[in-house]
Chains A and B, each alone.
Chain A
Amino acid sequence: MSDFSSLAELVINGNYNGAKDFTQKLIDSGADPIEIINQGLMAGMDVVGVRFKAGDMFVPEVMMSAKAMSTGIELLKPLIADSDMPSAGKVLIGTVKGDLHDIGKKLVVMMLESAGFDVVDLGVDIDPDAFVNAVKEHSPQVIGLSALLTTTMLSMKDTIEALKEEGLRDQVKVIIGGAPISQSFADEIGADGYASDAGTATELCRNLIA
């Protein structure tokens, strides 16, 4: 077994202490930091993604694997220029104005991060202007809007309108989710996509960025 696949295995098993030590060992032995990420840490997460989708791994196990990956990445970050950092893409996410429910969005954030996305989480009760400003600041490829309450669903539309008014709509893909949301609602308000759960949201982001 190569050193990289041993590291990947530690990630798959969610062994974050092991992954940290092993990453350090690879750094000390002079391995290329970007290769450690791509062939070790991310390679492990790719397997985790496949197994999760097949129902062979469960959310808490995915979280632990993601933690193992990020302990490794923390060690590698200082060794890599920001612009060279491998990333699946940048996603900005928030729960829309009027809604304080958080868990669905948190799950999406964690699943996206575990799939190698760079995620900016704005939090809850985010009004359209705050989304617009954040898009200007972070230039994400995708923004995700979350709502649990049906009363706040319309705030999703307001946010999309605000992006249009600022001329930003063409620069980002907008995806939406939450218990009362459906594909037909996404079509109605002109969103680029809808995901029913965190796993699907990750796939959706991959497809939209690809």
Chain B
Amino acid sequence: MRKIRSNSIEQTTPFLRWVSEGQIEEIHFATLEVLERTGVVVDHPEALQLLKDAGCIVNDHRVRIPSWLVEECLRLAPRKIVVANRKGQRVMPLEKNRTYFGTGSDLPFTVDLETGKRRRSTKRDVELACRVMDYLPNYDFVMSYAIASDTSSKVSDLHQLEAMVTNTIKPMIVTAHDEINMRAQLEMAALVAGGREELRKNPFMILYSEPISPLTHTNDGVGKMFACFEYGVPVVYTPGILSGATTPVTKAGTIVLMNAEALAGVVMAQLKQKGAPIIIGGGATPMDMRTTATLYGSPEAMMNYAIMTQLSQFYGIPNFTEAGCVNAPIPDAQAGMEAGNGILMAQLMGANLVHDVGYLEGGKTGSLTFLTMCNDYIDNARYMGRGTRIDEETMAVDVIDEVGPGGNYVSHEHTYKNFREEIWTSKQFNTSFWEVWEEQGSKSMEARAEELAKHIVATHNSELLDDTIQQGLNEIIAETDQKKASTRRKNKDA
């Protein structure tokens, strides 16, 4: 008979809480106070009208949102948002405590994998990054990674989507220049999904749109979000800030302000459409007071994300956060510490969408080598996140008795059965003895990762898109490009 324990709690995964439930409520009430007392600026006419009709106090563009309305909208926002891959498989359910990793978007610069030189990013960089992430198992979603700066700037976001969707089947988060381009991207997505209805059923795309701190909601930012809701496409609506410049310098003040911006987004979203799939969070990075750089890999950012993840779990709304984006300009020891800390924290907290992985120089420079290194960091963090199994098999009392004092375990069947699960093996970390490491070419982890990245680029291709879809995508890009060129001319003539 199996020996069981009664009235006992078992904990499989580590239980990490940065602050207490009471403190989370304190932050929530402070946020409600900001929305009700200070309010926000909204530059989107429809949103402004919706807010007014719902009972907000509106003076010109300044909107003061009553607490009851915020709380009502929090109840309406979905607790679970399922994101599919390109093939319509529902692979990424965004629900409490499920953590997914991916890159960020729109890097202006890239360290070329072949030459090792830093240069402006191109569409080819988007393609390569997507192929690398399509291959590496710990990347769950992709963002554009680089800016397609060698394409027509009016539609470079459309080119980025085209590069993404043709080079990976994984779920993706996109950015858009404005509402016109967003709508073009939604049509592209519908084409790939097999129609608008299929896209609505199993959206494989999420929009990333932003308020501008402090407390400003732009016409484009809200317009893009509303367009996505019409198509049933989820939206990340979160600010990227600089503590001490665009938010208070204190961590708690930063979180309150960002939360106010996100919750104003939740209110607008739910007023636009009940149950609109919105994702909260954001990049809570301090400003380096010596250089004014954005400190992505900082301890403060990670501490902020821990609390913001708790907040999203408290609200029951999926969140979007950041890790693996470092201030080190090269993938060195500093980069490893910055990325490792953030990735582990995100995993242990159970954050949902963790983006910007594999970014150097404070989110301005990309490196496929570093992206490849981070795949192993995530592997390590996920291993720890799975926790320590405690049961009869793992406590191994029978085995200890059998081996007895002075014996060994290496040849025991218990070791054979359990070692793969009980000891993590890295793909790229150096763990050899010195002489063996020398024999194998004295390669650093960076050099090994670079080799792997080159190998992936040379050999791995994602499942191809149908020719007619590919052609359709190119047509939408060309049409939008033309449309924009003519509106530009019209503006100039007027």
Contact = CB atoms under 8 A, between A and B. Distances in A.
Interface of A: 55, 58-60, 100-104, 106-107, 149-151, 153-154, 179-180, 182, 184-185, 197-199
B243 to A, nearest CB: 11
Contact of B292 (A55, A185, A197): A197
Interface residues of B, number: 26
B147 interface: yes
A198 B120 CA distance: 22
Contacts of A151: 153-154, 156-157, 177
A150 B153 CA distance: 8
Contact of B147 (A100, A150, A184): A150
Contact of A60 (B147, B156, B218, B244): B244
A182 B109 contact: yes
Contact of B245 (A100, A103, A197): A103
Contact of B212 (A100, A104, A180): A100
Contact of B290 (A55, A102, A182): A55
B290 A179 contact: no
A111 B245 CA distance: 13
B311 interface: no
B264 to A, nearest CB: 16
Given A101-B212, A103-B245, A154 B153 contact: yes
B225 to A, nearest CB: 16
Contacts of A104: 292
Nearest to A59: B289
A171 to B, nearest CB: 24
A149 B120 CA distance: 14
Interface of B: 106, 108-109, 120, 147, 149, 153-154, 156-157, 177, 212, 216, 218, 242, 244-246, 249, 287, 289-293, 364
The 3 closest A-B pairs by CB, nearest first: A58-B289, A180-B108, A59-B289
A150 B289 contact: no
Given A107-B292, A150-B108, A179-B364, 7 more contacts: A59-B290, A100-B216, A106-B245, A151-B153, A153-B153, A180-B147, A185-B120
Contacts of A184: 120
Contacts of A180: 108, 147
Contact of A103 (B154, B157, B177, B242): B242
Contacts of B244: 59-60
11 contacts: A59-B289, A59-B290, A59-B292, A100-B212, A100-B218, A107-B245, A150-B106, A150-B108, A182-B120, A199-B291, A199-B292
A186 to B, nearest CB: 13
A150 B292 contact: no
A161 to B, nearest CB: 12
A182 B11 CA distance: 51
Contacts of B293: 197
Nearest to B108: A180
Contacts of A58: 289-290
A59 B108 contact: no
Contact of B287 (A59, A102, A154): A59
A103 B239 CA distance: 13
A60 B248 CA distance: 12
A150 B149 contact: yes
A32 B246 CA distance: 40
A101 B244 CA distance: 16
A154 B289 CA distance: 30
Contacts of B287: 59
B261 to A, nearest CB: 14
Nearest to A62: B289
B289 A60 contact: yes
Contacts of B109: 182
Nearest to B290: A55
Given A103-B242, A150-B153, A184-B120, A197 B291 contact: yes
Contacts of B364: 179
A197 B246 CA distance: 16
Contacts of B157: 151
A100 B221 CA distance: 11
A31 B354 CA distance: 61
A180 B366 CA distance: 13
A106 B108 CA distance: 22
A150 B156 contact: yes
Nearest to A57: B290
A153 B120 CA distance: 13
Contacts of B291: 197, 199
A101 B240 CA distance: 11
Contacts of B249: 60
Contacts of B245: 103, 106-107
Nearest to A153: B153
B359 to A, nearest CB: 12
Nearest to A56: B290
Nearest to B109: A182
Contacts of B290: 55, 58-59
A116 to B, nearest CB: 20
Nearest to B249: A60
With most chain A CB atoms within 10 A of its CB, the pick from B108, B154, B157 is B108
A107 B294 CA distance: 13
